[in-house]
Chain A
C-alpha cells in the first residue's frame, strides 16, 4: 500500500494567488482529515470527512479556506486568496471506520510570500 499521498510536496506562491492541495487517502478508509501545522499553533485539525461528507469544519480558519471530497479516493483543500499567514505544513490523514489509528501523509509545505 502506498499510504496517504499528498501533492504537491512543496508549494511557493505569492499572496493573493489561489492554492490547491491534494490528497489521496488509503483505499478503503472511510475517514479523511486535513490538518495544519505551524510553529506557533502546533498541529490543528481543519476539517474531516466521513464517506465523502464533511462532518466537522469548525477548524477551518476562515472563508478563504474550502475543502471538498468528490469521491472516496480524492480530496482537495483550497485557499483563495492566499496570505502569508497561511504558510504552514498541511497534512492529510485517513483511517478505517472502526479503528482509532490515523494514517498521515507526508504533508505539503506551503509558503506564501
Chain B
C-alpha cells in the first residue's frame, strides 16, 4: 500500500498562511489524497480531498504536485482553532479503510 510521510510537528503564527506538506512517492494513479484533522479532545474531521487538480473549500486548499508524489494542505489564515493534528491519507475508493498515520501536529502562536 502506498504510504505518506509528514513532518511530526509545525508551528505557525496566527493569521499567517500555513503550508502542511505530505510526501507520497509511491502513490498510484487511482489513489485519492485525503486530509483529516483532529482538534484537541475531539474526533477527527474531514478537511479536503483531491485526485490531480488543486482543490479549494471553505476550510482549506489542497495543492497537488504535477507528478502527484507530494501534496500540500494550505490554511490561508491560521487561527488558534486550527491547532490540531493533520493527517494525510491515500484512498483508492470510498470503500478503502482509512488508515491514520501519526500526522503533523500544528501549533498556532498568538
The answer for the CA separation of A104 and B101 in the assembled complex, in Å, is 17
B30 to chain A, nearest CB (A): 13
Contact A48 B94, CB 8 Å, known A43-B44, A104-B43, A104-B45: no
Instruction: Give every chain B residue within 8 A of A107 (Cβ-Cβ).
Output: 42-43
Q: Chain B interface secondary structure, helix, strand, loop or mixed?
A: loop
In the complex, what residues of B have CB within 8 A of residue A33's CB? 98
Is A45 in contact with B97, judged by CB distance below 8 angstroms?
yes
Interface string of B23-43 (1 = CB under 8 A from A): 000000000101010100011
Contact A42:B32 (CB < 8 A) given known A100-B94, A101-B46, A104-B44: no
B18 at the interface (CB under 8 A from A): no
CA distance in complex: A33, B100 (Å): 13
Determine which of A48, A56, A93, A98 lies in contact with B43 in the assembled complex, contact meaning CB atoms within 8 Å.
A93
CB of A17 within 8 Å of the partner chain: no
Task: Decide: A105 near B43, CB < 8 A? Known: A99-B94, A100-B49, A100-B91.
Answer: yes
Q: How large is the interface on B (under 10, 10 to 19, 20 to 34, 35 or more residues)?
A: 10 to 19
Which of A42, A43, A91 has the most chain B CB within a 10 Å cutoff?
Answer: A43
How many positions in chain A have a CB within 8 Å of any CB in the partner chain? 22
| Least CB distance, A28 to chain B, in whole angstroms | 15
Contact residues of A with B, CB < 8 Å? 4, 33, 42-45, 48, 56, 91, 93, 95, 97-107
Interface string of B62-101 (1 = CB under 8 A from A): 0000000000000000000000000000010010011111
A107 to B32, CA, bound (A): 27
CA distance A105 to B43 in the complex (A): 6
Complex alpha-carbon distance, A33 and B95, angstroms: 12
